[in-house]
Amino acid sequence: MTKLVLIAGAVFAGLAVAIGAFGAHALADSVPPNRLETFETGVRYQMYHALALLIFGLLLLQPAFSKAPYVTLIAWLFIIGILIFSGSLYILVITDTAWLGAITPIGGVALIGGWIMLAISLLNTQGI
């Protein structure tokens, strides 16, 4: 699980840089400013949670934390949350498909759930 989390964090971080550059250069002249802000929100949240995955992966290297409850759930909530939250915003902006905005909160709930489960796991871990 640790290796998967660290790899996912690194990949999502790299993609956030690439997707952010795409938005800044390719979309800047082709979408209205409010849609560009929406795209940038997706990039920002992707990078925040990519960094969270990397920190979480480092926590998993600690023997006490690696056995904490919910570690697998936390990883998947962050990964799925990034894909649904940021991914739906990217597609919404690029395709101008407004109904995708209804999917975005599902990703947000997954991200929030990941943070809550992380807090619970840290509270229940001795030796950290």
Question: CB of 87 within 8 A of CB of 107?
Answer: yes
Structure confidence at residue 126 (pLDDT): 82
**DSSP 3-state of 127:** coil
Which amino acid would we find at residue 79?
I
- The pLDDT value recorded for residue 10 is 98
Residues 81/105, Cβ–Cβ less than 8 Å:
no
The stretches in the chain having pLDDT less than 70 are none
Torsion of Cα atoms, 34 then 37 then 38 then 39, to 10°: 130
DSSP 3-59: HHHHHHHHHHHHHHHHHHHHIIIIITTTS-HHHHHHHHHHHHHHHHHHHHHHHHHHH
Q: In whole angstroms, how far apart are CA 48 and each of 12, 14, 22, 44?
A: 10, 12, 18, 6
> Collapsing DSSP states into helix, strand and coil, what is residue 128?
coil
Q: What is the predicted pLDDT for the residue at 9?
A: 98
Boundaries of every domain in the chain = 2-123
Stated pTM of the model: 0.93
